[in-house]
Amino acid sequence: MTTMTQAGPAVRARRGRHGWGDRLLYAYTWLIIVWLCLPIAVMIAFGFNNAKGRLNLTWQGFTFTWYGKLFAVPDLTTALVNSLTIAVLAALGATVLGTLIGLALGRFRFRGQGALNLVQFAAISAPETVMGASLLSFFVQLGVGRGYLTILVSHIMFSLSFVAVTVRARVLTLDPFVEEAAQDLGASGWTTFRLVTLPMIFPAVLAGGLLAFALSIDDFIITSFNSGSTLTFPLWIWGAQKNGLPPQVNVMGTLIFLAGVLLAVGNAVLARRRR
């Protein structure tokens, strides 16, 4: 579920003239869209497959059965609930902490600023296996039992930088005098933040939060290092696939994908209305 839609400014197409270049670009665009959608289409289709036996790999007819029996596999349901709650909590945690860091990096000059910037990008670009392994040894050193909490902490940790980077970029484009104007008109520091700063950076905060959610619900590698016996959706699928995946997996995937599409569309509509 990595559907992040950036509602950028609409590109105004040249009207009237449709040269070869335009047609090629048009064809290419649709080719990419189809290519990106193909695996998703397969996933959605096999949620409706009337599969018999363990394997859900060949088409055997259309059915709504699996939508009715969505929660018929108890372990899978637990794994999905774990994934969803961890993703929501991790997104909230990463959004709050990341926004504060992004604000500080964009607005102030302070000791250690350069180092913080560097570490942040290192956290973004570090291989996940390295990060997962080092988090594991960190938790082992501390004697913390692996499970739900360690997954949550590691998810907040690796998605925080993404929020901070997004927010910082937004803060850098803001006119600092706007906040001063609010203070000048009698707003305290907190009121200024609530009524002026936060609404101005909100698109970036939201984008960062959604990114954190998507990263968390998706994550396999780091989670697998730090999960202990707790299973998340991706971990359960990985474990179950040797014996064949139940069609419920496809149905859940479809629903998560749909939620993502709805969020993206809502975001785009809001952005258009705000413009």
Partner 1 sequence: MTELRETEAATAAKVAAIELRGVVKSFQSHGETVTAVRGVDLTIAEGEFFSLLGPSGCGKTTTMRMIAGFDEPTEGQIILHGGDVVGVPPNRRDVNMVFQSYALFPHMSVFENVAFGLRRKNTPKDEVTRRVGEMLEIVDLAGREKRRPRELSGGQQQRVALARALVNRPRALLLDEPLGALDLKLRQAMQVELKRIQREVGITFVYVTHDQGEALTMSDRIAVMNEGVIEQLGPPRQVYERPATAFVAGFIGTSNVLSGTVARADGDTAVIEPGPGERILIPGAAAEAGGTVELTVRPEKIAIGLHPPDGEACALRGTVTEVVYLGTFTNYTVRTSTGAEVVVFVQNASSADDVAASGDTVWLSWEPRHSYAIGA
Minimum Å gap between C-beta 167 and partner 1 is 16
d(C-alpha 253, C-alpha 256), whole Å: 5
Minimum Å gap between C-beta 187 and partner 1 is 6
Minimum Å gap between C-beta 6 and partner 1 is 19
Please say which residue, 129 or 188, places its beta carbon nearer to partner 1.
188
Tell whether residue 239 is a contact of partner 1 (CB under 8 A).
no
Cβ-based neighbour number of residue 3 at 10 Å = 15
d(C-alpha 247, C-alpha 48), whole Å: 8
Minimum Å gap between C-beta 177 and partner 1 is 4
Tell whether residue 182 is a contact of partner 1 (CB under 8 A).
yes
**What is the DSSP annotation of 91-112?**
HHHHHHHHHHHHHHHHH---TT
> Computed from CA positions of residues 141, 151, 154, 152, in that sequence, does the dihedral angle turn out positive or negative?
negative
Binding mask 183-212 for partner 1 (x = CB under 8 A): xxxxxx--x---xx--xx------------
Tell whether residue 113 is a contact of partner 1 (CB under 8 A).
no
Minimum Å gap between C-beta 189 and partner 1 is 8
Q: Determine the interface stretch with partner 1 among 116-124, 130-138, 154-162, 174-182 (rule: CB under 8 A).
A: 174-182
Tell whether residue 108 is a contact of partner 1 (CB under 8 A).
no
d(C-alpha 146, C-alpha 230), whole Å: 8
Total residues binding partner 1 (CB under 8 A): 17
The CA-to-CA distance between both ends of the chain, in Å, stands at 28
SS3 47: coil
* Structure tokens that stand for 24 in this block: 């090629």
Binding site for partner 1 (CB under 8 A): 175, 177-178, 180-188, 191, 195-196, 199-200
